[in-house]
A and B are shown apart, each in its own frame.
Chain A
Amino acid sequence: MNFFVDNLPYILAGISVGGQYALIAIGYTMVYGILRLINFAHGDMFMMAGLVMVYLAADLPMQIAIPVVIVFTVVLGCMIEKVAYKPLRSAPRMSIMISAIGVSYLLQNAALYLTGGLAKTYPAIPWLAKTVEIFGAHTKMVTIVTPILTLVLVIGLVLLIKFTKIGMAMRAVSRDFETSQLMGIDINRVITVTFIIGSFLAAVGSVLYFTNYTAVLPTSGSMPGLKAFVAAVFGGIGSIPGAVIGAFIIGICENIIKGLGWTTFSNAFTFVLLIIILMVKPTGLFGEKNIDKV
């Protein structure tokens, strides 16, 4: 009990950041499920969303700036897919991964150019940045909002995938790309929808994340991005509930480690976890095993 009380601020922060990772992780896990591609640019898109918010909020009221940021991110995500991934659909997998790395490099350098390498301060969204008190610990409103919003969005997404026609198409494509194509599913539409959903969630995640960690740097996307990817692997890549659970576990553990005074290793922990999982259960918590055909 003592442990719990002592670490309450960290656990709260962990749940909050876990929710934010979850929103990014869904983008990874869905794209991987369908294209078998680690979208290295996803984290940088998340950073771009933060950066654009900084610039927009200077001139526009919040109620307008937030939707514009979300639309911008969705458009950016779809554009990246159209320009950098679509032409390589029949190329070897390594080429698409390299293309993703190239996009990530481009976005980071573009951000570096725009900001001049300086940290930009994220605008305070009045309602989210309000300080509240729970169980005697002071925290921002966003800490409470994040897990709730995450769960609502995830449930919505799961319902979408389970019960709509496009959701069914997505499941089919992630199971067998070529066969579903032969069955008349419009692959490109499915992929576009996947990227729209992924980018939308990343944009929402960025609003929540940067309300907590107010500095936006060109490199701020890569670490959360990698962690979210680890979360997706942890939960079993391709599985949405898996990604969410993985993200919460990583967020909480990482913050408890910070609480213990091992801040240097809070990032390293994620990767230790990744390597342990890949060694013990490479398919993650909810992943499916597939056998190579000879």
Chain B
Amino acid sequence: MNKEISISKKQKTILSLFTCLVFLALVYVGDMLTPPTSSWGMLFTVLEKGSIYALVAVSMNLLNGFTGLFSLGQAGFMLIGGYTYAIFSIPAASRDSVYQYFDGGLIKFSIPEIFSNALGGVLGELGYSLGEFIGMFVPMIMAGLITAGLAFLIGIPVLRLKSDYLAIATLGFAEILRAFFQWKALGPITNGSNILRSFSTYSSPLFPIIISGLCIGFIVLLINSSYGRAFKAIRDDEIAAEAMGVNLFKHKQWSFVISSFFAGIGGALLAMFSSSITTTPFTSNLTYEILLIVVIGGIGSVTGSILGSFLFVACSEWWLRGLDSGAFLGLSFGFMRPGFRKVVFAVVIMIIVLFYSKGIMGTREFSWEGFLTFLKNLPGRLINFFKAFPKRLADFFRTLPAKIAGLPARMKNSLKKLKTNTKHGKEAR
């Protein structure tokens, strides 16, 4: 019944490019037209933060879902990325006020500023903004590279560990990094436990969307390359992978370093998004959130991680806000006070983890064929559904009495089944 649609590779490329351009144009125009006070402004916050989370989630998926390394260091790597970016992008003039407890800090220059000065700009002129824009990429790439370099060093001892030990060790490293950045002796650089602010940030939501998109694109290319296959082989069976000539340590190290590079870039984007940075949000809880996004989307699916990120951010920043303020879908209860949203959220996540452990996408990916086939068959399915609906309804009511009568027996049966199932359930180790 389902008619498959097949299209050529060229058509697919054109379709993808076209969709991306339309999407970006829509975001651009929408951002221009939406007044800052409108509640739709939230949409753009979600798009920005969602795309940043998507990048971090995909980079974590590269490790957990594609290489089978259960690493929990993501927050630590984002922290390094965010700080690296911030430290090198605070304008010289603002440094005295930012580093007020450390005599204006050790570093007295800002890379974006150097670029805008080189383009001869005076504040407000095109050359200045252009220079700042170009200059922002340098500290951002530095953020990625420094994070990756550190990941390389951490990887040497840590990647030799087995699954759960690796999780704890990476979690531990993230914690050490947090302590390190708060250290007073490093204050002239990191500003100790004080906030870093007034660094250069982007002005349009297109910036994080495009950067994240490009980075995710690279990760997808990597996954589909020969190295990506080697990563998956390690995930599926380390011993067999090694026997087929895959150098375990080298490939784990590549995956770890590349994932960290993008976590660093993600951290830099997050710093820009919130236009300030401290060590406080980069706890293990942030890592857990990103891990849960990956699980919601499907471990081993890039599409899933992206969808999961936008869903997660939209729910926590926008759709479920009402649960905190006491008015949600026209409902209002006394127990809806700040924090309730997160409880509901956590319960939903637990339900997903327990009952839909494959997440939204499982290990599947988006494909134009699948999408178009779905669209094409959708009307037919809907029509069929509504056609069959009266009959189904009638059937339902006809069999209802019998069902109710049979309920106790069925419950007994399923209970019995549950018992025997758990008794004979095998432990997978």
> Taking the complex as a whole, does A directly touch B, i.e. does some CB pair lie under 8 Å apart?
yes
Q: Which of B182-240 contact A (CB under 8 A)?
A: 182-184, 239
Q: Which residue of chain B has its CB nearest to the CB of A293?
A: B239
Instruction: Write out, one digit per residue, whether chain A residues 259-294 have a CB within 8 A of any chain B CB (1) or not (0).
Output: 000001101101110110011001000000000101
Q: Which residue of chain B has its CB nearest to the CB of A100?
A: B353
Set of chain A residues within 8 Å of B245, measured between Cβ atoms = none
Instruction: Write out, one digit per residue, whether chain A residues 110-130 have a CB within 8 A of any chain B CB (1) or not (0).
Output: 101110110000000000000
CA distance A91 to B426 in the complex (A): 9
Q: Is A146 an interface residue when CB atoms closer than 8 A count as contact?
A: no
Chain A: interface residue count, which band?
A: 35 or more
Instruction: Write out, one digit per residue, whether chain A residues 218-258 have a CB within 8 A of any chain B CB (1) or not (0).
Output: 01001000100110010000000000000000000000000
Whether A275 lies near B426 (C-beta < 8 A) is no
Whether A272 lies near B342 (C-beta < 8 A) is no
Instruction: Write out, one digit per residue, whether chain B residues 334-353 have a CB within 8 A of any chain A CB (1) or not (0).
Output: 00011110110111011001
Whether A233 lies near B168 (C-beta < 8 A) is yes
Q: Is A5 an interface residue when CB atoms closer than 8 A count as contact?
A: no
Whether B157 lies near A275 (C-beta < 8 A) is yes
Q: Which of B135-170 contact A (CB under 8 A)?
A: 157-158, 160-161, 163-165, 167-169
Number of cross-chain contacts by CB at 8 Å: 149
Set of chain B residues within 8 Å of A267, measured between Cβ atoms = 175, 179
Whether A272 lies near B427 (C-beta < 8 A) is no
CA distance A230 to B167 in the complex (A): 12
Set of chain B residues within 8 Å of A104, measured between Cβ atoms = 288
Q: Is A63 an interface residue when CB atoms closer than 8 A count as contact?
A: no
Q: Is A158 an interface residue when CB atoms closer than 8 A count as contact?
A: no
Q: Which residue of chain B has its CB nearest to the CB of A32?
A: B164
CA distance A282 to B164 in the complex (A): 12
Contact of A90 among B183, B292, B299, B425 (CB under 8 A): B425
Binding site for A on B (CB under 8 A): 64, 70, 157-158, 160-161, 163-165, 167-169, 171-173, 175-176, 179-180, 182-184, 239, 283-285, 288-289, 291-292, 295, 299, 337-340, 342-343, 345-347, 349-350, 353-354, 357, 422-423, 425-429
Binding site for B on A (CB under 8 A): 36-38, 83-84, 86-95, 97-99, 101-106, 108-110, 112-114, 116-117, 177-178, 187-188, 219, 222, 226, 229-230, 233, 264-265, 267-268, 270-272, 274-275, 278-279, 282, 292, 294
In the complex, given contacts A89-B422, A106-B346, A274-B168, what are 20 additional A-B residue pairs having Cβ atoms less than 8 angstroms apart?
A87-B354, A91-B428, A93-B428, A97-B164, A99-B354, A101-B292, A102-B295, A102-B349, A106-B343, A109-B343, A109-B346, A110-B343, A113-B340, A219-B285, A229-B168, A230-B168, A264-B184, A267-B179, A268-B175, A292-B239
